[in-house]
């Protein structure tokens, strides 16, 4: 049985049912364990959370209910214990999901497979009646918001001058935040204001229908926010610098999208690159490491190398596993200072979870330090980037990818080849192409970044389509 994808269990509520939540809770719980359980604003959240709590308690675990919280706040609360978040993140309101944490870190593959095996075995998982767990309420939001703000104050105390000493490193910064009716509404504006920013929050009410826009923040779904950023205070359609930057979240506030003062969406890999460079530059480790994913741009490698660090990659959805691997393989000089895949960041010195709220505050502080978004991104070389999908039946994917491990390097000689997580080819000019199977849809994905990206995509697509045809 396969329940877990790259980001927990997720899907339509016809699949992610209270019965499934009950089964997962009974599989995850055990006598003596303590769990915190949170949920996002979706209409189906209360029923799924209640079923999860029943499963955990009947297996012997004690449960603290957090209510509606951002996923990073749930992860924060799971430190020293375990946690379950009921969320479908950026999926539509018809979906929901389950993410499990242990001591602030998402369950790894082994832990997920143990849950799957227990659910498949149909073992009721019940503890004897006298060992059933207890439940209670835990308020975590205020502590979490304070902790994020304190972390950013500490991070920028040395570089941001006198304002940092007063606890206001964002003083003078004007920020627009599109919370997208999601859980960022209860965290990000509060943190930014505590750090001294002037904040205008849009769609900052929690609404499980996501009536303002789709939950996933993209240039296509953020059109109203982009227009808002690009108009002046009278509503005239002329660009101005009323806001220093814009920030947007998904439904559970683990993702972050950054906009410049003119409403331009700054490429997610550029954001990743500048944050990674900051952490490497500030680290006193002899071997500072940034963990990212195969689809992340070479611009990240360039900025990290310039700052004196190195980049290591891990499969999508497994940043926590990459962090653990590098820590285990490194020596006393090695430190994982940052981990990220596009849109989602782990601030290793703060915690082991993806945290869009902390990212919002860190990016804002970097903009304040640099003086503008343009100055912050200026050192980053931004080449054209594209992603396309090629139809491929799920059962053909293994044969297709096996063939491409040979055929792609033959089609693109004189490239550095990495086949750990798909097939990634890197060129001498820092262009690259990645081909990998989708984990959720009948596609093979092609990612490419190059000054001649259309030609590179076209050439790679020819090789991929030929491999698919041969496999069929």
Q: Which residues are designated catalytic? A: 89
Alpha-helical (H) ranges within 90-217 are 109-120, 141-155, 162-165, 188-194
In angstroms, what CA-CA distances link 303 with 270, 273, 450?
10, 6, 17
According to DSSP, residue 393 is labeled -
Can you tell me the distance from the alpha carbon of 131 to that of 81, in angstroms, rounded to the nearest whole number? 18
Q: Supply 411's token pair.
A: 């089609």
Can you tell me the distance from the alpha carbon of 206 to that of 209, in angstroms, rounded to the nearest whole number? 9
Helix, strand, or coil (residue 287)? strand
Q: In angstroms, how far is CA 438 from the centroid of its own chain?
A: 17
Can you tell me the distance from the alpha carbon of 216 to that of 90, in angstroms, rounded to the nearest whole number? 4
Task: Look at residues 44, 90, 92 and name the one whose alpha carbon lies nearest to residue 68.
Answer: 44
Q: What b/e readout covers 170-182, taking b as 16+ CB neighbours within 10 angstroms?
A: bbebebbbbbbbb
Report the DSSP pairing between strands 256-259 and 62-68.
Answer: unpaired
85 Cβ contact partners less than 8 Å away, ≥ 6 residues apart: 8, 37, 38, 39, 40, 71, 74, 75, 98, 99, 101, 252
Q: Is the dihedral of CA 390, 393, 398, 404 positive or negative?
A: negative
Can you tell me the distance from the alpha carbon of 93 to that of 90, in angstroms, rounded to the nearest whole number? 9
C-beta of residue 252 within 8 angstroms of C-beta of residue 74:
no
Can you tell me the distance from the alpha carbon of 118 to that of 122, in angstroms, rounded to the nearest whole number? 7
Q: How many CA atoms lie within 13 A of 216 on its CB side?
A: 8
Can you tell me the distance from the alpha carbon of 463 to that of 385, in angstroms, rounded to the nearest whole number? 19
Can you tell me the distance from the alpha carbon of 346 to that of 358, in angstroms, rounded to the nearest whole number? 9
Q: In angstroms, how far is CA 380 from the centroid of its own chain?
A: 21
In angstroms, what CA-CA distances link 416 with 189, 305, 311, 402, 450?
44, 17, 15, 18, 15
Question: In a 10 Å sphere around its CB, with 0-12 CB exposed, 13-18 middle and 19+ buried, how is residue 30 labelled?
Answer: middle
């Amino acid at each position: 049985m396969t329940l877990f994808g790259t980001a927990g269990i997720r899907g339509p509520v016809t699949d992610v049912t209270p019965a499934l939540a009950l089964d997962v809770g009974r599989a995850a719980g055990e006598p003596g364990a303590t769990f915190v359980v949170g949920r996002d604003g979706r209409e189906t959240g209360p029923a799924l959370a209640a079923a999860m709590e029943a499963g955990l308690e009947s297996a012997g675990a004690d449960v603290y209910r957090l209510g509606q919280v951002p996923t990073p706040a749930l992860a924060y609360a799971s430190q020293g214990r375990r946690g379950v978040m009921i969320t479908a993140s950026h999926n539509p309101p018809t979906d929901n999901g389950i993410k499990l944490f242990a001591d602030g870190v998402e369950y790894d593959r082994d832990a997920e497979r143990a849950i799957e095996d227990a659910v498949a075995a149909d073992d009721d998982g019940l503890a004897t009646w006298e060992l059933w767990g207890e439940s209670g309420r835990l308020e975590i939001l205020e502590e979490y918001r304070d902790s994020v703000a304190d972390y950013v104050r500490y991070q920028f105390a040395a570089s941001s001058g006198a304002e940092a000493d007063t606890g206001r490193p964002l003083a003078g910064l004007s920020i627009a935040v599109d919370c997208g009716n999601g859980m960022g509404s209860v965290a990000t504006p509060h943190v930014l204001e505590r750090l001294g920013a002037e904040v205008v929050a849009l769609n900052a009410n929690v609404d499980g229908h996501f009536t303002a826009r789709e939950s996933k923040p993209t240039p296509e779904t953020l059109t109203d926010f982009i227009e808002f950023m690009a108009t002046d205070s009278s509503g005239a359609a002329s660009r101005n610098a009323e806001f220093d930057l814009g920030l947007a979240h998904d439904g559970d506030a683990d993702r972050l999208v950054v906009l410049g003062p003119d409403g331009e969406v700054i490429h997610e890999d550029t954001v990743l690159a500048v944050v990674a460079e900051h952490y490497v530059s500030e680290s006193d480790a002899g071997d500072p490491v940034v963990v990212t994913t195969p689809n992340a741009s070479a611009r990240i490698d360039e900025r990290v190398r310039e700052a004196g660090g190195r980049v290591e990659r891990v499969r999508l959805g497994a940043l926590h596993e990459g962090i653990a691997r590098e820590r285990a393989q490194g020596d006393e000089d090695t430190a994982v200072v940052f981990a990220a895949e596009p849109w989602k960041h782990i601030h290793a010195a703060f915690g082991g979870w993806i945290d869009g709220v902390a990212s919002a505050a860190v990016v804002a502080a970097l903009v304040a330090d640099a003086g503008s978004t343009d100055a912050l991104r200026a050192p980053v070389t931004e080449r054209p980037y594209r992603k396309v999908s090629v139809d491929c039946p799920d059962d053909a994917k293994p044969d297709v990818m096996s063939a491409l491990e040979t055929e792609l390097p033959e089609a693109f000689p004189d490239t550095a080849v990495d086949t750990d997580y798909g097939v990634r080819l890197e060129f001498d000019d820092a262009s690259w192409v990645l081909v990998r199977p989708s984990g959720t849809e009948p596609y093979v994905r092609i990612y490419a970044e190059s000054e001649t990206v259309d030609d590179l995509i076209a050439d790679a697509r020819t090789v991929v389509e030929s491999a698919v045809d041969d496999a069929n």
